[in-house]
Structure formats: C-alpha cells, structure tokens
Amino acid sequence: MFLLLALAGCATLPTDFERTPSQAVEPTGDTKLGQLFAPRVAAHGGDLSGIHSLRYGTDALAARIGLANAAQRTLDAQYYIWSGDLTGRSVLAALMRAADRGVRVRLLLDDLSEYGYDRALKTFALHPNVQVRMFNPFAERGFLGIQFLTQFSRLNRRMHNKAFVADNQAAIVGGRNIADEYFEAKPEHDYRDFDVLTVGPVVREVSRSFDAYWNSKFAIPVAVLEGEGEPPTRADLRELRERLAAHVRKARRSEYAEAVQGGEFVEEAKSGELSMLWAEAYVVSDAPSKFGTDPEDPSGHLGPQLRSIVEGLDQELFIISPYFVPGESGVELFRKLEQQGVDVRILTNSLASIDSPSFAGYVRYRVPLLRAGVELYELKPSARLPEERKRGGPLGSKGPSGGSLHAKVFIFDRKETFVGSMNLDPRSLRLNSELGVIVESREFAGEVLSTVENQLATGAYRLDLEYAPIMHQPPPRPTMAWDDVDRPKLVWETVSEQGKKKRFETDPETSWWRRFLNGVLSIFVPEGQL
C-alpha cells in the first residue's frame, strides 16, 4: 500500500500527445446570432458593447441553453465547476445537440471539481465536433488526495474562470458555475449570483482570453489522461446522447422547466428585442502564465489591474464579494480611501449564509475595517429581492430557503462596474486564475447598485462597533470619565420584512457550536490559502 501511494504521489502528466492549437472563429453576420446582434452593434457605431444583466438563475440557464441552441459555428465553454445534475446535464445536452448540427464545441474545465466525471467527458470528447481539455489536471485519476499532498504547489492553483461564448457573437461572463445551486434549481441551497450576457467588441476579448487558456501548456486533452476501465467507444457516445435526450424530455415536464421557459429572458428573446444597455466594455483577466510563476509575482495578474482603478477613485467603492479576506494591505487601502473622502461599502456573506472556510480569515478583519470607516454588510441566508419574494422564493420551495452570496461585483465611483469570477481573497489574487468584464456606464452601475441597495435594509445585517465605557482609576472622581478605548464589541443591525428593527450581539442565525468552530478555524487556517 505504501508503494502504491508513493507511486501515485510521483505520477506525472502525459507529454507524448498532440495538442493542436485552435482559435475562435471570426464573427460573421451570416449566422443566426450574427443576424440578431450585428445590426444592433453597427447601429451603435460598432465600438460599443451590448450588456444584458442576468440576475435570476432561471434566466441565466435559459441564456446559456438559448445560445447553444442558436449557435451555428462554434461554442466555447470555460468553467471551474460543471456538475452532473439537472442543470449540468441540460447544458451538456444543448452542447451535444449543437455538435450534432456541426457546431465546433470546445469545453475547458478545471480538473479539481470534475473527479468522477472522467468517463462521461471522455465519451463526450469522442464526438468528431467536440474537444474537451482539463486545466492543470491530476496525473493519476485514482489517488487525488495523495497527489494533492505531494504536488501541492502545482495542484493548489485552479482555473476559476467562467465564460460561455457562442459563434464569437455573444458571451456570458460572471460568477456562475454550471450546477443546480447557481440556477435556482436547488431549493435547499440557492446562490445569489450575477452574470452578464454581452455582444459586440467585448465578446472578441472574451474569446481571446479563452484561446489563451485553451492553447496553454496547462490545458490537457481529457482523452490522454489515464483512467480506470476500458476507454469509451462510439457505442458509449450513442448511449450518452440518448441519456441526455431522455433527461431533457423528462426535465421539460417539471415545474422548474416551466419557470425557465416563462422567465423574462425567454420572453424578450422570443420577441427578438432582447433589452441591451450599450456602453464601452473590456475584459480584465489573469494570464494563464500565472500558473507557472511565483504567487507573489503580480505580473499578468488581474488584481493589480483593479487596484489601479481603486486608487484613482474620488467618491465611492462598492464591493460585493462572497469570500472576502482583505488582509492587512486591503484594510490599509480602504483606510486611505476613507481618509481621502471615498466611501467604501462592502457586502459579503454572514456566518449563517457562507459555505466556505474563508469566513475564518474574514472575521479577524471586521473590527479593523469598521474602525477604518468602512460600511460592512453581511447577507442573510434567507435574503430575497422584492420581486423574488413575489415569485415565492427559489423554484420548488414553499418559502425562504438557505442561500449564499456568490456574485462578484465591484462598482467604482458609480460609473464603472466589474462583473466576473474574482473574490477579494488571497486565493483569487495570488493562486487561482480569474476573468471579468468592466462596463463603463453610469446607467449600468446605477442599475446594479439600486438592485443591491434595495436589498440591504432587510436582506443583510449592517455591522457596527459598540465601545464599552471605561472608568479611570485612580484617582476617584465625583463623575465618571468615559473613554472609547480598544474594547469594541461587534453588533449586527437589520430591519425585518415587517419593518421592525433588530439587533444582535453575536453572529445572527448561528449556533454557539458553529461560532466556536469558526473561532477555532480562524486560529489554525492559513490565510494565504483562503
């Protein structure tokens, strides 16, 4: 057993294979998507991009499947997670149908979350119009844990990008992976996420980023990775196609499918007049070379690109980051901004809503952030936008359910907005790769900010500091002297949906045991890995 584990730990990636480079096709107006969007792009001078917000999970799923169904030349999909659940199989079925029509499909997945799906992905890659590559993969498929220990410095760095591009005419970028919890299909746990559907010049930039990762040395064809059992055959491909088709037929009869088909996106798309906000937009991303350099080397990193914008702000910075570990340098940056008159507001998860150990790293910065003048908000697990409460909460549920914030949105001076995959934590900044778009539009920033602000009062807890009065002794004095010294106590304030103010002195909606465990984690978890 020791020998087997040692061999697994020393496993190396295959090198004797052909990795044929490929690039995104030049967008043309003769495809369905070209005929739909090219005239609108031209009508805005050709240099502005169209932006359509995807706030609801059902609309975000409909948009991906709709683009796959409309594509005639290429589909490129790049994701950190692609699950084999209801939504994962539905989008994969759409890719299969596209490939059967002759569309070239390129699927690039991070390898960490795809363990167990090797055979399905290898089978899918047998399609003559499909290519599947795994980014920074494990060499030995049966001993992931051992490899992670022995090759930690390599395997600890993951591709966190999310992009979906059809015919190089339309692209979806944002925070959503492909799994039920991102599309309102998992009532017991619903992610609060955000994507944008883009058309116009910015789409070509998304495609160039995809090509850079696709053609990098870290992207390995799934077919050359060793696995258990016999290699899949064409018969397996036919069976996979039949299983996916059967899944779609069954899913169409569900309440969830009715909600997807009846969403705002589908209604607008059917009319042929999908609402678009037109603005200058550009892509910001980590270069794939980040995986081959020291984590402390910022060259080619996304973080410095955003920091240069932050350092030039005049009025306001609004950060939405589900996993938030600013570090001492981040706290100092926010303190300087506040001293310069820039209002800094941050929305992140509460202990009750988060599903990541990163909260253990975040808690040590709550008091320093508040002292620096930052407004700090933590999302309630049952938070819902007003229009979502009218819809009855997540699909399939009878009422509010557990949810987590997962959107990654930064708003700069109410005139520029970043939407993408990057959290403000050491892992996103130093280790993983990230992708996003920046939209230069006061209207877009105002719309996003208005949506969030409508939720803050009842959907989040506002944190504050309460200082304990200290009596100076000696000498005794006839009146007490009070001094706000370093004995602050965190308090959480919110307003119920009935308009009643509430105040908490411990993390709301959590048990003492969960608070205790988080306290233990905050001592032992290395911040640089969060």
Residues 114 and 237 in one domain: yes
Q: How many CA atoms lie within 13 A of 100 on its CB side?
A: 15
Residues 61 and 209 in one domain: yes
Number of independent structural domains in the chain: 2
Q: Is residue 147 part of a domain?
A: yes
pLDDT of residue 270: 84
Asked which of 251, 271, 291 is the last residue of a domain, the reply is 271
Q: Report the sign of the C-alpha dihedral through residues 427, 431, 436, 441, in that order.
A: positive
Residues 359 and 493 in one domain: yes
Q: Is 402 exposed, middle or buried (0-12, 13-18, 19+ CB in 10 A)?
A: middle
> Using CA atoms, how far apart are residues 352 and 426, in angstroms rounded to an integer?
22
Q: Is 406 a catalytic residue?
A: yes
**How many other CB atoms sit within 10 Å of the CB of residue 57?**
27
Residues 308 and 244 in one domain: no
Q: Is 464 a catalytic residue?
A: no
> Using CA atoms, how far apart are residues 504 and 143, in angstroms rounded to an integer?
46
> Using CA atoms, how far apart are residues 408 and 423, in angstroms rounded to an integer?
6
Q: Is residue 294 part of a domain?
A: no
Q: Tokens 């933590």 correspond to what residue?
A: 378
Please measure the distance between the N-terminal and C-terminal CA atoms of the chain and give it in whole angstroms.
Answer: 32
> Which pair of tokens denotes residue 202?
């910015």
Asked which of 231, 253, 271 is the last residue of a domain, the reply is 271
Among 52, 122, 127, 160, the one annotated catalytic: 160
Q: Is residue 282 part of a domain?
A: no
> Which pair of tokens denotes residue 505?
């002195």
Q: Is 167 a catalytic residue?
A: yes
Closest by CA position to 60, among listed 406, 379, 445, 435: 406
pLDDT of residue 127: 98
Question: Is the Cβ–Cβ distance between 62 and 265 less than 8 Å?
Answer: yes
Residues 389 and 261 in one domain: no
Residues 252 and 311 in one domain: no
Q: Tokens 């599903």 correspond to what residue?
A: 355
Q: Is residue 293 part of a domain?
A: no
> Which pair of tokens denotes residue 387?
């229009």
Q: Helix, strand, or coil here: 126? A: coil
Spatial neighbors of 123 by CB under 8 A, at least 6 apart, are 232, 236, 237, 240
Residues 217 and 347 in one domain: no
Among 122, 186, 406, 415, the one annotated catalytic: 406
Q: Is 100 a catalytic residue?
A: no
Kind and range of the H or E element at 50?
strand 49-54
- C-alpha distances in angstroms, 341 versus 116, 315, 336, 369? 51, 7, 9, 15
Residues 227 and 341 in one domain: no
Q: Is residue 359 part of a domain?
A: yes
Residues 259 and 357 in one domain: no
Question: Is the Cβ–Cβ distance between 186 and 393 less than 8 Å?
Answer: no
> Using CA atoms, how far apart are residues 75 and 60, in angstroms rounded to an integer?
16
Spatial neighbors of 45 by CB under 8 A, at least 6 apart, are none
- C-alpha distances in angstroms, 130 versus 61, 101, 123, 133, 244? 21, 12, 10, 10, 16
Could you list the pLDDT tens digit for every one of the 530 residues in the chain? 666 555 555 678 888 888 899 999 998 889 999 999 999 999 999 999 999 999 999 999 999 999 999 999 999 999 999 999 999 999 999 999 999 999 999 999 999 887 678 899 999 999 999 999 999 998 877 667 788 888 889 999 999 999 999 999 999 999 999 999 999 998 778 899 999 999 999 999 999 999 999 999 999 999 998 777 789 999 999 999 999 999 999 999 999 999 999 998 998 888 888 999 999 999 999 999 999 999 999 988 999 999 999 999 999 999 999 999 999 999 999 999 999 999 999 999 999 999 888 999 999 999 999 999 999 999 999 876 545 544 433 333 333 346 899 999 999 999 999 999 999 999 999 999 999 999 999 999 999 999 999 989 899 999 999 987 654 445 444 443 434 445 689 999 999 888 899 999 999 999 999 999 999 998 888 898 98
Q: Tokens 């998992």 correspond to what residue?
A: 186
Among 52, 122, 162, 415, the one annotated catalytic: 162
- Alpha-carbon 367 to chain mean position: 27
Q: Is 408 a catalytic residue?
A: yes
Q: Is residue 2 part of a domain?
A: no
Question: Is the Cβ–Cβ distance between 99 and 244 less than 8 Å?
Answer: no
SS3 string, 52-76, reads EEECCHHHHHHHHHHHHHHCCCEEE
Question: Is the Cβ–Cβ distance between 154 and 137 less than 8 Å?
Answer: no
| 137 φ/ψ sector (left φ>0, alpha ψ -120 to 50, else beta) | beta
Residues 202 and 130 in one domain: yes
> Mind giving me the DSSP string for 74-121?
EEEEEES-B-SSHHHHHHHHHHHHHHHTT-EEEEEEESGGGTT-HHHH
> Using CA atoms, how far apart are residues 108 and 214, in angstroms rounded to an integer?
7
Q: Is residue 4 part of a domain?
A: no
Among 85, 211, 343, 413, the one annotated catalytic: 413
Fill in the amino acid letter for 493.
Answer: E
- C-alpha distances in angstroms, 362 versus 289, 318, 326, 519? 29, 17, 7, 11
> Using CA atoms, how far apart are residues 200 and 211, in angstroms rounded to an integer?
18
Closest by CA position to 8, among listed 159, 216, 155: 155
Q: Residue 404 forms beta bridges with which residues? A: 191
Residues 147 and 222 in one domain: yes
Among 59, 76, 111, 167, the one annotated catalytic: 167
> Using CA atoms, how far apart are residues 509 and 138, in angstroms rounded to an integer?
39
Q: Is 127 a catalytic residue?
A: no
Residues 81 and 192 in one domain: yes
Q: CATH number for the domain including 414?
A: 3.30.870.10
Range of the domain at 325: 300-529
Q: Is residue 352 part of a domain?
A: yes
- C-alpha distances in angstroms, 475 versus 20, 466, 469, 479, 480? 83, 26, 17, 11, 11
> Which pair of tokens denotes residue 347?
């929305």
- C-alpha distances in angstroms, 160 versus 98, 135, 140, 143, 282? 25, 10, 22, 22, 19
- Alpha-carbon 395 to chain mean position: 21
pLDDT of residue 13: 87
> Using CA atoms, how far apart are residues 112 and 135, in angstroms rounded to an integer?
9
